[in-house]
Structures are given as C-alpha cells and as structure tokens.
C-alpha cells in the first residue's frame, strides 16, 4: 500500500459531492473526506444533490441511498445520463431492505471500517490515475 | 283372594279380644264406679232410715214415756230394732242408765259394757246440742237423739232429760251389697255373653255373607276400566258397599298403575338419560348409577357401586368438590356445579361438568345426593386447543412484531454505528497521515461516546417495549403514544413522513401499556407502508387524542390512500396481509384487535376517508382491563 499522503497528493484536488440526509452521519463522513479532499459540496437529499450536480461539475459523487425525497440510486441514474465518467460511490445501510438498482463504481456497506474507506480512496485514485490536472 | 281370608282371620280374633276387653272394662266399671256408688247410695239409705227412726222414736217414745206409757214405749223400741240392719236401740237417762232396751239382756247391764266410746261421745253431743247426732264407728253407724224421759216415783212424775240411741249394723248392709254385686255381675256377664253371641252371630251374618258375596263377585270381575257389576237383587246396603268397594279398588289400581308408570318413567329417565345420573350416599359411595355414567368413567355398574366418588375423582379436584359438599350439608348452598376430572378405570382422565343437589329427609337430616354428570371432555379439549391456538397466534404476532422491531432497531442503529465507525476512521486516517492532534482526537472520541449513549438508550426503549410482563398500570395515554412514536420516528423521517400530534386532552387510563404501544406501532408501521407505496407527495400521519365522559379515543389518520373495498373487510382477519410475504405475517391487526377488544374492553375499527384511512382505538374509561 502506498503512503496515504502520496495518494492524497494525486486526488486532493478532485471535486466531491457528498449526499446524505442524516446530519450527524453527514458531518462525520464529511470530516473524514475533508482530510483527503480540498473541495467537498454537501447535499442532504437526492434532489438537492442532483440540482447541485447539474449546475456544477464534480469528479466524485458519494451518496446514501435511502433519502426522503429522492433516493440515491435514482439520483445516480440521472447523473450517469449526463456524466457517465464521474466516479460514483454508494454508501448503503440496506442489506436486504431494498435491492440496489444502480450500477456504480463502488458500493460500501454502512458502517464502513477503515479498510472500506481506504478501498474508496484507492478506487478513486485508480479511476483518476493519469488524469491529474 | 285366599290371602284376603288369611288376613281376615285375625280380625275375628280381634273381635273376640275386643269383647273380652269390653267385659273386663265393664267389670272394672262395676268395681270402680258402680260399686262405690251403690255403696254410697246404700249408706245414704241406711243413714236416712236411722235419722227417720231417731226422729220417729224421739217423737213417739218421748210421748209414751212422758205419759207413763212405758210398755208402748218398749214396744216401739223393739219395733225399731226389728229392722234387719238395726243392731240395737236404747233409751238412756242422763247418767247412762238404760231405761228401755230392744234387747232384754242389756236391761240390767252397765252402759259401759254395752256402749263403745264413740257411742258415748255421740250421746253426750246429742244431750249437749239437743239435736240428733250420727257417727260411724267401724262397721256400725250409731245415732243419738235427745229425749225427755218421764219417771214416776210413787205418784210424783219427774221429767228428766235422756237420750235415745240406735245402732245400725253396716255389716248387714255389706252383705246385702255383696248379694247385690253378685246379682250385678251375673246380670252383666249374661248380658255381655248375649251381646257377644249376638255380635258374633250378627257379624257373621252381616259381614261374612256380603264378603263372600263380594268375593264371588270379585272372582268373576274383569277389569274393563269402568268398574264392578253386582247382583242387583242383593240388599241395597250391600250394593252400596260393593260399589264403594269397587270404586276403592278401581282407584287403588289406578293409583298403583300411576305409580308404576311414574316408576317406569323415572327408571327410563334415569337409565336412558344422555347425561350420567347417580344417587350418592353421604359418605360418597354410589347408591345408584345409570349406564351413561358408567360409560363416561369406564366402570361396570357393579364395580362403581362398590366404591365411592372420591376414589375416581382426580386428586386435584377432590378438595373443591368436598368443600362444596360440606357447604350443602351446612345449608350454605342448595346445589353446586363444577368442572372436575374423573379418573377412568383405564387410567384416562375425563373432564365432566358435575351438578349436585342434596335430598333432605322430613326431619331435616340429609339423605343422599343426586349427581348429574355431563361429559365435557371434548369441549374442554376444544377450549384448550383454542386457547393454545390463541397463544400460538399471540406468540407469532410477538415474533412478527419482534422481527419488525429488529428491522427498526437496525434502522435506528445503522446511522449511529456508522458515525462511530467514521469518527474512529478519522482518527486512524489522521494517524496514517501523521497529522494527528490531541484536540481533534478528543472531539472524535467524545462523538463516539455520545453515539454509544444514544445506542444504549435506543436498545432500552426496545427492551422495555418487548418485555412480556403484563402489568396493568395507570398511565397517560399521551406518553404511550409518544413512546410508540419514538420507536418508529427514524423510519418515518427516512420516508419523509410527518407525524402530527393533536392532543385535545390528557387522559390517564388503566392499561397494559406495552400491548397498547404495540398496537400503535403496528398501526403506524402499516400507515408508513401505505404512504411509501401510495403517496409520493406530502406524507402525513395525524394522531388525534380526545376523550368524553366515558371513552378515550385515539385516531390515527394517514393520507396513504383508501383501503380497497375487497380488503377493508378482511384486514382484522388473522394471516391476512397485503404486504410482500417477507414483510408481513398478517397477524398485526388481528392481534391489535384482540389487545384492544379482549384485553382493554375497547374497540378498534377502520374507516376510509378521502385519500386515506383512519384507524380508531376507543377505550372505555370505566371498564378498562
């Protein structure tokens, strides 16, 4: 495993959209992501996330699935129609409650351990390898 | 009819005995009443004669003596004494010297030799009182009458006071009496003998002949239900006697027939009854049992009659049974009904419904028990099955609720757990990046601790909800509603469902708190499911709590669409569900209705409104649990 600081150096500039309706969890995850990425935008619902996404450009979308107004899966589907190459990661708390009906780059189960989070970082790094700005 | 004759023989003996008794009674009457009466009469006669004699003698003899006609006086004395009952007649002077005597041998004798002491007293009393005195002494009745005795010394006549004494011998009277009694007895005996002969003869003539006549009539008698026919040439009395006798026999026969019918009816009732019937002695032994009872307990009648009810009663039921029995013996109750178990001959246990009454004697002592035994084995078994079925349903619904609850716990927990993980991840990341600071790490740690507290509280809520203790307690309905909401609010939030509370009052009720919360959670979850499927707009659940003087009502209203007509009538049926198989057991509303209806005496019903439905829980204030 490469040094985390080396990886960070390669991906810290990527723009992240993080969508999660649960505020406490949102804060925690955002704190973690903030250690890696410089620019993170927050959305608290699928609809809000989609509006932000369409009005701006992001490299990475990390989203929850179960949200009140628009589900994460639906949001990702619509985003993929516009920007199929963006890195999409889904954090799901639902093992069996609902089938995950979206093709994404990475699916992580809540609660995520360190291994899962490192996997996310490495997957992003792999996705954008050689695409440094 | 032979038997009739044998029974009539003692009757004639009795007649003879009666006659002898009458005889004895008559003799006793003669001796006890007749004889003393005759005696008294005779004595009175004697007394009367004595008095008459004294009176006459006093008059006539005094006249003769005063006139110096001594011979006439003497003659009169002798005349008086000539009566068979008169023993002695005397005239004495003051000094007790006899002047005249009925017996010449007494003339020269001293009065002390002739008179006894009583006679001397009588004489003295007569002289003193100048009146007639009479007194009985031994077998004698003596009377004295004062008299003037004229004496002549030369030509001088002296008038001196003397006394006349007459002694009557009662022995003679007794003798006369005896002969009178003999006469009496002979005449009585004769009379009775004649009467006896007459009675027997007359009896034989008057009774035997008609009896024989009746007998011959009875021998030819064929009962046709209308009565007897008699020879109408017989005397009127015999015809009357005969028809009276016939009527008597007829009534007797119909009474016997009635009794026989009753006996047959009773016996067939007893024997063919569809329930077990028994007569039981006070000590518990079977006196009489019918076939059905034997069938129930599997004993032969002869076997049952050799044991008592205690022997075949299940030991656990015996005490209750005996308690009831003693209550009846002490007049505390007249009968009782209980469910008990008998142990059959083959060892099986059979459930029966036993009804017992006590039959009392005329003197208010207990006689025997009448027991009616109904086989309720199948009924009890069915009840047990129903009960266990209900318990299975209750268990299943609890399991289902628990499944739902675990889902809810997973939901409630996943986010806090993720927060904890992420805080820890951040610490690790900082360490990896060699960028760790104490302040930030402490913040992360505090966040983790907060989350564990939150998790702990959540699990307490659920554990309370699931504890199966059935405590009936007084609680605020509002707090129960809030408790139920707290268990589901995360998933409601997740599904963008707004819960609106309208508390119009704040009632307190006796209730099974957790069961009621289970009902509320169930209804809220159903509402959630409906909203998710049917409403993509503004999802709302509205809870209204109100009360009137008698009831508390909780209305849970949602805008998740009306319930389909083919569904609304069935939603309270067990195992009925519209949900996907993995989501619902179909027991939630069924159990909810049991909890509200059976456990709280209330009502749970549903009605459709525009765009949704409304579940109403109505709980009575008075009845409660």
ipTM of model:
0.90
Helix (H) or strand (E) holding A123, with range, is: helix A114-127
Q: Which residue would you say has higher pLDDT here, B582 or B231?
A: B231
Quote the strand ranges of B235-292, DSSP E: 276-281, 286-289
Which residues of chain A make contact with B416, given a CB cutoff of 8 A? 24
Report whether pLDDT(B155) > 70.
no
Query: Which 8-state DSSP code applies to residue B595?
Result: I
Give the three-state DSSP class for B540.
strand
Mean pLDDT of the residues in chain B: 81
Which chain B residues are within 8 Å of A22, Cβ to Cβ? 415
Q: Do B415 and A24 touch (CB under 8 A)?
A: yes
Contact at CB, B421 and A8, closer than 8 angstroms: no
From chain B residues 436-465, the ones with a CB under 8 A of any chain A CB are 447
Number of alpha carbons in the 13 Å side-chain half-sphere of residue B254: 10
Residues 389-418 of B with CB under 8 A from A: 407, 411, 414-418
Contacts of B34-40 with CB under 8 Å at 24 or more apart are: B34/B184, B35/B177, B35/B181, B38/B177, B38/B180, B38/B181, B39/B177
**Per-residue pLDDT tens digits for B446-455:** 999 989 988 8
Can you tell me whether residue B451 is helix, strand or coil?
helix
Which chain B residues are Cβ-neighbours of A25 within 8 angstroms? 415, 418-419, 422
Percent with pLDDT over 70 in chain B: 85
Give the residue from B407, B409, B417, B418 with the most A CB atoms within 10 Å of its CB, the best one to mutate: B418
The pLDDT of residue B417? 92
Structure confidence at residue A87 (pLDDT):
94
B588 or B521, greater pLDDT: B521
**Residue A3 corresponds to which tokens in the numbers above?**
């040094």
Test B425 with A25 for CB contact under 8 angstroms. no
Q: Spell out the residues 6+ positions from residue B170 whose beta carbon is closer than 8 angstroms to its own.
A: B43, B46, B85, B136, B139, B140, B141
Identify the pLDDT of residue A55.
92
Least CA distance to A31: which residue of chain B? B426
Asked if B529 has any chain A CB less than 8 Å from its own CB, the reply is no
**Within 13 Å and on the Cβ side, how many CA atoms surround A56?**
18
Q: Which of B425, B450, B451, B490 is most worth mutating to test chain A (most A CB atoms within 10 A of its CB)? A: B425
pLDDT, mean of residues B343-365: 90
- DSSP class of residue B285 equals B
- Cβ contact B425–A93 (<8 Å): no
Give the number of A-B residue pairs with CB atoms closer than 8 Å: 72
Smallest CA-to-CA distance from B99 within B51, B45, B57, B40 is with B57
Residues of chain A contacting B428 with CB distance shorter than 8 Å: 114
Tell me the pLDDT tens digit for each residue of A40-51.
999 999 999 999
Is residue B26 within 8 angstroms of chain A, CB to CB?
no
The pLDDT of B13-38, averaged and rounded, is 77
pLDDT-derived band at B613 (thresholds 50, 70, 90) equals: very high
Tell me, yes or no, if B432 comes closer than 8 A to chain A by beta carbon.
yes
Angle, CA B475 vertex, CA B474 and CA B481 arms, to 5°: 150
Residue B228 structure tokens: 């007897």
Which residues on B lie below 8 Å from A110 (Cβ)? Answer: 414-415, 417-418, 421
Residue B7 and residue B1: Cα distance in Å, rounded?
10
The verdict on B433 touching A (C-beta cutoff 8 Å) is yes
A122/chain B closest Cα distance in angstroms: 14
Q: Which residues of A touch B407 (CB under 8 A)?
A: 97
pLDDT-derived band of residue B55, with 50, 70 and 90 as boundaries? confident
The pLDDT-based confidence of B75 (bands split at 50, 70, 90) is confident
The pLDDT confidence band at residue B12, using thresholds 50, 70 and 90, is low
Between B51 and B174, the more confident residue is B51
Residue B421 at interface with chain A, using a CB cutoff of 8 Å: yes
Question: How far is the C-alpha of B301 from the C-alpha of B371, rounded, in Å?
Answer: 15
The Cα–Cα gap between B21 and B35 comes to 19
Name which of B317-326, B383-392, B596-605 the model is least confident about.
Answer: B383-392
Does residue A78 or residue B9 have the better pLDDT? A78
- Would you state the pLDDT for residue A109? 87
Tell which residue, B149, B184, B181, B183, has the closest CA to residue B165. B149
Most confident of B36-45, B413-422, B589-598: B413-422
Residue B4 scores a pLDDT above 50: no
Mark yes or no for CB contact A114/B496 under 8 Å: no
Lowest mean per-residue pLDDT among B97-106, B342-351, B470-479, B524-533:
B97-106
Reduced to 3 states (helix: H, G, I; strand: E, B; else coil), residue B124 is: helix
The mean-pLDDT minimum among B81-95, B161-175, B200-214, B321-335 falls in B200-214
Residue of B nearest to A95 (CA): B410
* DSSP-assigned beta bridge partners for residue B541: B499, B558
CB < 8 Å to A32, chain B = 422, 425-426, 429
Asked whether the beta carbons of residue A111 and residue B420 sit closer than 8 angstroms, the reply is: yes
Strands (E), B378-493: 472-476
Average pLDDT over residues B268-276: 84
Secondary structure class of B113 (helix, strand, coil): helix
Q: Residue A8: name the closest of B175, B433, B86 by CA.
A: B433
Confidence of residue B220 (pLDDT cuts 50, 70, 90): low
C-alpha–C-alpha distance, residues B318 and B324, integer Å: 10
CB contact under 8 A, B416 and A24: yes
In whole angstroms, what is the distance from residue A121 CA to residue B503 CA?
51
pLDDT at B3: 43
- Among residues B530, B498, B560, B537, the alpha carbon closest in space to that of A69 is found at B537
Min Cα separation B562/chain A (Å): 22
Closest Cα in chain B to A113: B421
Nearest-Cα residue of chain A relative to residue B447: A28
The DSSP letter of residue B313 is: B
| B204 has a pLDDT exceeding 80 | no
Q: How far is A2 from chain B (nearest CA, A)?
A: 11
CA-nearest residue of chain B to A116?
A: B425
Comparing CB atoms, the residue among B411, B418, B496 nearest residue A111 is: B418
Count of alpha carbons within 13 Å of B285, Cβ hemisphere only?
A: 7
Q: What is the pLDDT of residue B10?
A: 63
Question: How large is the average pLDDT for residues B425-441?
Answer: 92
Question: Which band of pLDDT confidence, cut at 50, 70 and 90, is reported for residue B553?
Answer: very high
Chain B residues whose beta carbon lies within 8 Å of the beta carbon of residue A2: none
What's the CA gap between B81 and B100, in Å, rounded?
12
Q: Which residue of B has its CA nearest to A27?
A: B419
Nearest CA in chain A to B425: A114
Least Cα separation, residue B377 to chain A (angstroms) = 49
Task: Count CA within 13 A, CB hemisphere, residue B482.
Answer: 7
- Do the chains contact at A32 and B426, CB–CB below 8 Å? yes
Instruction: Flag whether pLDDT at B237 surpasses 70.
Output: no
Q: Please give the average per-residue pLDDT across B79-104, as a whole number.
A: 77
pLDDT of residue B399: 74
- Given a contact cutoff of 8 angstroms between Cβ atoms, the answer to whether B238 and B210 are in contact is yes
Which of B8-17, B68-77, B116-125, B406-415 comes out lowest in average pLDDT?
B8-17
Distance from CA of A28 to the nearest CA of B (A): 6
Highest mean pLDDT: which of A83-92, B175-184, B581-590?
A83-92
Q: Which helix (H) or strand (E) holds A109?
A: strand A106-109
Extract the runs of DSSP E, i.e. beta strands, from B465-563.
472-476, 497-503, 508-512, 539-547, 551-558
Q: How far apart are CA B192 and CA B394, in angstroms?
A: 103
| Residue of B55 and B94 predicted with greater confidence | B55
Q: What is the mean pLDDT of each run of 10 residues along chain A (133 residues)?
A: 82 94 91 94 93 93 87 91 92 65 82 92 89 53
Nearest C-alpha neighbor of B217 from the set B198, B199, B237, B234 = B234
Give the list of residues 6+ apart from residue B262 with CB closer than 8 angstroms, or none: none
């Amino acid at each position: 495993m490469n040094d985390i600081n080396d990886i960070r150096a390669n991906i810290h500039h990527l723009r992240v959209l993080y969508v999660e309706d649960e505020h406490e969890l949102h804060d925690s995850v955002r704190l973690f992501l903030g250690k890696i990425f410089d620019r993170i935008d927050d959305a608290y619902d699928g609809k809000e996330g989609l509006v932000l996404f369409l009005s701006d450009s992001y490299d990475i979308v990390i989203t929850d699935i179960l949200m009140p107004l628009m589900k994460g899966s639906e949001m990702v589907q619509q985003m993929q129609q516009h920007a199929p190459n963006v890195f999409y990661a889904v954090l799901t708390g639902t093992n069996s409650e609902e089938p995950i009906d979206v093709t994404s780059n990475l699916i992580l189960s809540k609660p995520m351990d360190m291994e899962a989070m490192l996997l996310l970082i490495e997957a992003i790094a792999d996705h954008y390898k050689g695409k440094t700005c | 009819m032979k038997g009739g004759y044998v029974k009539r023989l003692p009757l004639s003996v009795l007649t003879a005995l009666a006659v002898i008794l009458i005889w004895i009674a008559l003799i006793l009457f003669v001796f006890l009443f007749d004889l003393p009466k005759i005696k008294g009469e005779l004595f009175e006669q004697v007394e009367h004669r004595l008095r008459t004699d004294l009176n006459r003698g006093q008059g006539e003899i005094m006249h003769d003596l005063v006139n110096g006609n001594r011979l006439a006086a003497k003659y009169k004395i002798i005349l008086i004494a000539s009566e068979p009952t008169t023993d002695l007649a005397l005239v004495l002077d003051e000094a007790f010297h006899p002047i005249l005597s009925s017996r010449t041998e007494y003339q020269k004798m001293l009065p002390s030799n002739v008179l006894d002491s009583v006679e001397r007293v009588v004489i003295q009393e007569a002289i003193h009182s100048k009146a007639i005195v009479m007194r009985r002494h031994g077998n004698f009745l003596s009377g004295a009458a004062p008299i003037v005795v004229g004496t002549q010394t030369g030509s001088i006549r002296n008038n001196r006071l003397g006394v006349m004494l007459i002694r009557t011998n009662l022995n003679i009277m007794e003798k006369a009496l005896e002969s009178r009694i003999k006469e009496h007895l002979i005449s009585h005996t004769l009379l009775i003998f004649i009467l006896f002969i007459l009675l027997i003869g007359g009896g034989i003539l008057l009774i035997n002949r008609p009896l024989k006549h009746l007998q011959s009539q009875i021998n030819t008698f064929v009962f046709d239900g209308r009565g007897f026919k008699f020879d109408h040439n017989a005397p009127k009395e015999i015809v009357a006697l005969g028809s009276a006798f016939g009527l008597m026999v007829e009534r007797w026969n119909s009474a016997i027939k009635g009794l026989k019918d009753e006996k047959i009816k009773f016996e067939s009732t007893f024997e063919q009854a569809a329930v077990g019937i028994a007569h039981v002695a006070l000590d518990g032994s079977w006196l009489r049992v019918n076939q059905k009872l034997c069938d129930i307990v599997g004993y032969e009648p002869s076997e049952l009659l050799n044991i008592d009810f205690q022997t075949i009663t299940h030991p656990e039921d015996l005490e209750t049974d005996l308690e009831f029995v003693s209550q009846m013996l002490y007049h505390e109750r007249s009968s009782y009904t209980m469910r008990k178990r008998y142990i059959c001959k083959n060892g099986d246990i059979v459930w029966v419904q036993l009804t017992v009454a006590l039959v009392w004697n005329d003197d208010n002592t207990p006689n025997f028990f009448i027991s009616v035994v109904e086989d309720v084995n199948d009924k009890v078994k069915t009840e047990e099955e129903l009960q266990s079925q209900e318990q299975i349903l209750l268990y299943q619904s609890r399991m289902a609720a628990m499944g739902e609850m675990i889902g809810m716990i997973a939901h409630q927990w996943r986010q806090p757990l993720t927060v904890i993980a992420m805080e820890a991840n951040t610490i690790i990341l900082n360490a990896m990046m060699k960028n760790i600071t104490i302040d930030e790490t402490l913040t992360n740690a505090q966040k983790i601790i907060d989350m564990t507290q939150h998790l702990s509280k959540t699990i307490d809520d659920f554990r309370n909800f699931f504890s199966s203790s059935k405590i009936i307690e007084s609680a605020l309905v509002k707090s129960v509603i809030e408790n139920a909401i707290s268990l589901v609010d995360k998933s409601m939030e997740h599904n963008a469902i707004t819960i609106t509370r309208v508390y119009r009052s704040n009632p307190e009720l006796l209730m099974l708190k957790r069961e009621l919360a289970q009902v509320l959670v169930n209804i809220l979850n159903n509402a959630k499911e409906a909203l998710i499927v049917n409403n993509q707009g503004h999802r709302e659940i509205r809870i209204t709590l109100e009360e009137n003087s008698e009831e508390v009502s909780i209305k849970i209203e949602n805008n998740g669409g009306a319930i389909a007509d083919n569904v609304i009538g069935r939603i309270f049926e067990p195992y009925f569900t519209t949900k996907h198989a993995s989501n619902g057991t179909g027991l939630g509303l069924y159990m909810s209705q049991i909890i509200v209806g059976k456990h709280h005496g209330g009502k749970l019903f549903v009605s459709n409104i525009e765009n949704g439905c409304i579940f109403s829980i109505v709980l009575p204030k008075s009845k409660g649990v």
